[in-house]
Structure 1
Amino acid sequence: MAQAESGYYVPHGSNWPIIGSVGLTSLVIGIALYLEGMGLGLWVMGAGGALLIYMVWGWFADVIRESVGGLYSAQVDRSLRWGMIWFIFSEIMFFGAFFGALFYARFLSVPWLGGEDPATSRVLWDSALLAWPTAGPGNLGLDWKPMGPWPLPTINTLILLTSGVTLTVAHHALKENNRRRLITFMWMTIALGLAFICLQAYEYYEAYAHLNLRLDTGIYGSTFFMLTGFHGVHVLLGTIMLIVITLRCMKGHFEADSHFGYEATAWYWHFVDVVWLGLYVFVYIM
């Protein structure tokens, strides 16, 4: 796979940006129509989602062809790396906002509403003392249970940590040009990612069916599902990325000294692992 010597490759005549804009606009309009109770909303939302999938598929296929064709120079490689770094930084800020909401509710809002003076709390909330985990003063007396760390969250933690190890082994195999080990450990990583998603789906079933823990279970329910749900979406996206990269590995698209597409996916997956460790500590244990 040859690489351009110099210059910066700029594609011309690409229709993907306008297709993506139309798809995204249609998706948002469809969601708004659906929330207003209009039957047309589902059709518009579906058409917008289909356009976005078509855009992502086609645009990424073009990028892969350009990369394999040797159209990217060292400068393009550097800009792609910086682009991925800034993307992961934006993801850190994304989850940081949600962790901030959890910390505010737990360490500031709930203690303030509970009142430092028990007598004050009795006056405000009819003798009920607020302490984390809580559904909030509006749901006092609600019969529900918080999600504990055992067994599903702990098992999922071990699964994600193991997937980080298998991905690292696969990365070293790529650097050593050991294709068999590379592909084997990549599929192992994908299997672990799918196992995590399945177990989290079962965890949500347990929460709704047996713990009466729902998205509307006050502040605890909203922060729990907000953090774990968005993380689950990221695991799903990361698994899709791993599948694409593995298929590219099987086609021989990456070389031992030139494989940023692989590295970018590995960065993203390790980021997802680190976020889960934070979730496991602050949501399930503390």
Structure 2
Amino acid sequence: MATETEDAHDEGHHLPAVEDWPRGFGEASWWPFVTAAGAGGIYVGVALFLMGFGDTNIVPVVYGQATLVGAVGLFLVGLYGWLYHAFVSHFWQRGTDEHSASKLQWGMIAFLGSEVATFSGGFVYFFFIRSGPSWPPGELPPLLGSLVLINTAILIASSVTLHLAHGAIRKNNRGRFIGLLGLTLLLGIVFIGGQVYEYYEFIAHEGFTLTTGIIGSAFYGLTGLHGLHVTMGAVLLGIVFVRSLLGQYSADRHVSVTTASMYWHFVDAVWILLVVVLYVGAEIGGGAV
């Protein structure tokens, strides 16, 4: 008689520690570690990229660029494998154990707790430079314009539509769920495009870049980190949207909708805090030119 581990290998998963993973949600895997390695590589790539600028040029800029590309690729591959084996594989053969679903939701809460620590480090850095003698920076362009206000309204609207979509699938209204989820994804993509356009305006027309003093590193570091998280959120919503088109959600089966919603609402809340602290806070007290 085949063992539980052998059965998992026969399914083609080839993942470790089968007996330690909550039943009904795939098997324990190495994918979270692959994803974490890719995320860590992104920070290393940014550091190498910054080390390539200035008079010292400690390392060639291309090292940072290559590391970033490889790290982002590794991160996306790990994220795909993690989501596929945890949620997608053998979807209809699973039960609807609320206890196991609760464990995954608490796992997302724990992950978001680590994200709070990550963003807090960036905010502490901004508060530190803002309280220093070099503030206000004379090179700072006007940050609080119509573009950021429109982008903020778009992201808030996406949280509303996602909340309504989540409520629709809880009521088994799949048509309304798919429509609102698709609208949420569209709004998220528009927001990302708006942030890219904002970067273009600042860099090409204002000369405000990542190397424009300490305020440049703070601004692009915080907004870039948030943009990366929104992009990852859009990938998650895209996967959920495709699965919704395949009919994989119902009032009893929507744990990945719940966890993706938790993540999306989190990045929306962080953006509002960024606007208040970074955009508004940077202009209060002068410094805009």
Give the structure-1-normalised TM-score.
0.74
Q: 2:116 aligns with which of 92, 95, 108?
A: 92
1:204-257 residue CA offsets vs partner (Å, 9 max, x unmatched): 011111212111111211111111111111111111111111111122222213
Report the Cα distance in structure 1 between the residues aligned to 2:231 and 2:212, rounded to whole angstroms: 25
Give the partner amino acid of 1:96: S
Of residues 171-180 and 189-198 in structure 1, the stretch that sits farther from structure 2 once superposed is 171-180
Partner Cα distance (2:36, 2:219) in 1: 34
Distance in 2 (alpha carbons) for counterparts of 1:183 and 1:55? 26
Equivalent residue letter for 1:75 = H
Is residue 57 of structure 2 the alignment partner of residue 57 of structure 1? Answer: no
| Higher deviation after alignment, 30-39 or 203-212 | 30-39
Displacement, 1:87? 0.5
Map Cα deviations across residues 72-107 of structure 1 (whole Å, 9 max, x no partner).
744322221111111011111111111111111113
2:126 counterpart residue number: 102
Task: Give 1:58 deviation, angstroms.
Answer: 3.3
Alignment of 1:240-259 (within 5 A): 240-259=235-254
Shift of 1:66: 4.6
Q: How does 1:1-286 map to 2 (within 5 A)?
A: 8-9=22-23, 16=31, 20=34, 36-37=59-60, 50=73, 53-63=76-86, 64-70=88-94, 73-107=97-131, 109=132, 113=133, 130-132=134-136, 134=137, 144-286=139-281
Q: Is the 8 A contact 2:174 2:250 kept in 1?
A: no
Matched residue SS, 1:103: helix
Q: Residue 22 and residue 8 in structure 1: after superposition, are their counterparts in 2 closer, same or farther (change >3 A)? A: closer
* Alpha-carbon distance between aligned partners in 2 of 1:21 and 1:227, rounded to the nearest angstrom: 21
Distance 1:228 1:43 in 2: 22
User: Take 2:235 and 2:245, find their aligned partners in 1: how far apart are those partners?
Assistant: 16
Listed one character per residue, the Cα deviations across residues 98-149 of structure 1 (whole Å, up to 9, x for unaligned) are 1111111113x2xxx2xxxxxxxxxxxxxxxx542x16xxxxxxxx342421
Distance 1:15 1:270, change over 3 A: closer
The separation in 2 between residues aligned to 1:207 and 1:33, in whole angstroms, is: 23
Structure 1 residues 43, 93: CA separation in 2 closer, same or farther (over 3 Å shift)? closer
- Would you say the 8 A contact 2:161–2:180 is kept in 1? yes
CA contact (8 A) 2:185 2:237 kept: yes
**2:13 corresponds to:** none
Sequence identity, in percent? 34
- TM-superposed deviation, 1:182: 0.8
- Report the AA paired with residue 88 of structure 1: L
The alpha-carbon deviation at position 184 of structure 1 amounts to 0.8
Q: Compared with structure 1, are the counterparts of its residues 158 and 243 closer, same or farther at alpha carbon in structure 2 (3 Å cutoff)? A: same
Q: TM-score normalised to the size of structure 2?
A: 0.74
Displacement of 1:153 in angstroms is 0.6
In structure 1, how many angstroms separate the alpha carbons of the residues matched to 2:66 and 2:278? 37
Q: How many residues align?
A: 249
8 Å Cα contact 1:77-1:260 kept in structure 2: yes
Q: Which residue of 2 aligns with 1:124?
A: none
Structure 2 unaligned regions, length at least 5: 1-20, 53-58, 282-289
**What are structure 1's unaligned runs of at least 5 residues?**
1-6, 114-129, 136-143
CA distance in 2 between partners of 1:233 and 1:151 (Å): 22
Other structure's SS at 1:214 match: coil
Query: 1:25-48: CA deviations, max 9, x gaps?
Result: 9x68x9699975598998888667
Task: Decide which structure has the larger Cα Rg and report it.
Answer: 1
Letter of the 1:105 partner, please give it: I
